[in-house]
Structure 1
Amino acid sequence: MKQKALDKTPDKLRNPSDLQVRFRTGVIYTAATVICVLAGNIPMVLMLMVVAGICAGEFFYMLRSDAKLPNEMLGIIAAVLYPLSVYIAGLAGAMLVSLALLLALLVWYVFWLRARIPDVGVSFFGAAYTGLLLCGLVIIRVSLPAPWGGVCVLLLFLSVWANDAFAYLVGSKIGRHKLAPRTSPKKSWEGFIAGLVGSVIFWCLMTLVPGITMAIPQSIVFGIISGCMGVLGDLAESRIKRNSGFKDSGTIMPGHGGLLDRSDSLFLTSITAAILLIAGGCIPYALF
């Protein structure tokens, strides 16, 4: 069956270029994200749990190459539980997961003599970095009635993707001044500014979502802050890869690398967006 399918495949598709592979993978990733976000609270939470688990696994895999010995099992379990706990119990749920993780890591540290304090720190950081930060999306999703919570989250995703796309297109064409040459040599200040424009565009569109109380000037400021945090998240993951000697965090997404490579900007953006929207009185959400 595989041979018959291959025989019917056009020649130009049998050996796709890197760009074709990257495009196809991006389409599948984007379609899956849009469907899960708009389908409802539970599908989106399940998607975030999967993303958190895979990203945590890639994170711990890289750190092992940097002479660290994290507890992958505890870290991945906690990362997966963070979005679910916030959906069920709000911020109190995240606190319970954090306390349980810390207690479990202390027990592991006491009884497994090879473990060091840096290993405990890396295990806790990995879970919080890949799981806790994504909880901002859950907070935004549940704060608004259906389907507007999903629309708002989708616009936030689009702001992150626009930030990356605008930065790449402009930076590759006219980028001359390096943003962080030692951490990410390909990023430029020209691309950085263009990325902020892309982020602001979709933040301005959020003002049209029913249930969100946000003026255009406020959305511009929030879009700039959110865009900056997305770039910071990207640079942070680049620094982790550089220190660990990795070009990509994994191979689960052909043409793109690992899932952590695609989600690095989303981590800080999601939690920053939730804080800005709540602190600015833009969405109704009770912290506890």
Structure 2
Amino acid sequence: MKQTTTSSDDEGARRPADGAKPAPERSGALHGLIVRAGFGLIYVGLFIACLLLGTLPTALFCAAMSWLCCFEFFRMMRLDGKVPNELLGLAASVLFPLSALVDAVWLTGLMFVLVLSLGLWYVFSPRARIADVAVTGFGPLYTGYMLSSIVLLRDAVPGAAGALLSIGVCASLWVSDSFAYLVGSRLGRHKMVPKISPNKSWEGFAGGIVGSVAVWLILEATGWYALDVPFAVLCGVAVGVLGVFGDLIESRIKRGVGVKDSGNLIPGHGGMLDRSDSLIFGCITAYLILRIGGIV
């Protein structure tokens, strides 16, 4: 039988150049990028629309976001062997942003009711463990209570100025994430916490802080707020740093239970908690600094 041979030239014609990705892989990566960008724009568009429409739409959006984040958190806790009281925890996660429509005192009252309810559940439910009580309480505090700061921030300044300020705070975190990714993917050499988030680098962290500060300087330049350049820089740095902390905290939770994403609600992004991790700590930081500084 005659053996068929293949010339090295033919092999070279079919083999991709060194370092080049095969066409199907490049196509899949491009499709994934388009999907991620498309659903990311939908999420951001809905969020901004609610902020523009006023405090009530903002509260309703944050309540829905909090419910989804808390649901995903409880799902991860079940993977870790915990049995949270989902009815109690999810109800509290929704009520925290809604109670912020009234004032911060209602948030304190709801926190009291939550802790009391958890204690009574533990007393009258022999099967409940203290670990179950702990994760049930942490879930709505970590999600609904923290995200209620967005409602307080939107309500603090009326009209278009309040909408712009709220959008700016959220945008500083979104831009920070984008800058961190762009800088880290190209220049990242020194890992921050490789055992928790292997892709995060100190170079990306610095790029993220620059992005956050840039947005706050734009807010200062509008002249609508009692901000000066040093205070805007302070806000940008603090919000950017706490946004990274929020990201790392959620990464630690996911690594602890052995999952890559908190859910699969948003194609290309994972779950709602994956999209909100930096907002959870960044927005409340912004609200507290602006409140203490007398800006709102």
TM-score (norm 2): 0.88
Name which one, 1 or 2, has greater alpha-carbon Rg. Answer: 2
What is the alpha-carbon distance in structure 2 between the residues aligned to residue 246 and residue 228 of structure 1? 25
Matching residue of 2:16: none
Unaligned runs of 5+ in 2: 1-26
- Within-5 A mapping of 1:273-284: 273-283=286-296
1:103 and 2:116 matched: yes
Counterparts of 2:43 and 2:152, CA distance in 1: 22
* Matches of 2:222 and 2:166, distance apart in 1: 11
Q: Which letter does structure 2 place at the counterpart of 1:184?
A: S
Checking the alignment, whether the CA contact within 8 Å between 1:56 and 1:126 is kept in structure 2 is yes
Query: 1:16: Cα distance to partner?
Result: 7.7
Which residue identity is paired with 1:149?
G
Aligned to 2:262: 249
Deviation at 1:64? 0.8
Offset at 1:138?
1.5
With over 3 angstroms needed to count, the CA separation of the structure-2 counterparts of 1:16 and 1:205, relative to structure 1, is closer
* Paired residues of 1:80 and 1:131 also in contact (CA < 8 A): yes
Asked if 1:269 corresponds to 2:288, the answer is no
Distance in 2, Cα, partners of 1:278 & 1:226: 14
Q: Distance in 2 between matches of 1:42 and 1:128?
A: 21
* Whole-angstrom CA distance in 1 between matches of 2:223 and 2:162: 9
What's the Cα RMSD here? 1.6
| Deviation at residue 265 of structure 1 after TM alignment | 0.2
The 5 A counterparts of 1:109-258 are 109-209=122-222, 212-258=225-271
SS in 1 for 2:101: helix
1:84 aligns with 2:77: no
Per-residue deviation at 1:282?
1.3
Residue type of the alignment partner of 2:71: G
Q: Give the drift of 1:91.
A: 1.3
Contact residue 56 and residue 76 of structure 1 kept, 8 A: yes
Q: Distance between the aligned counterparts of 2:174 and 2:36, measured in 1?
A: 15
Q: Distance in 2 between matches of 1:172 and 1:16?
A: 17
Q: How many residues align?
A: 270
> What whole-Å deviation, never above 9, does each CA across 1:249-271 have from its counterpart, x for those lacking one?
00110111001000000000111
Q: TM-score scaled to structure 1, two decimals?
A: 0.91
Q: Percent identity?
A: 45
Distance 1:229 1:86, change over 3 A: same
Provide the secondary structure at the position in 2 that maps to 1:87: coil
Query: Which structure 1 segments of 5+ residues have no match?
Result: 1-12, 284-288
**Aligned equivalents of 1:28, 1:16: Cα separation in 2:** 18
Distance in 2, matches of 1:278 and 1:239, equals: 30
CA deviation vs aligned residue, 1:216-265 (integer Å, no higher than 9, x gap) = 11110111011000000000000000001110000110111001000000
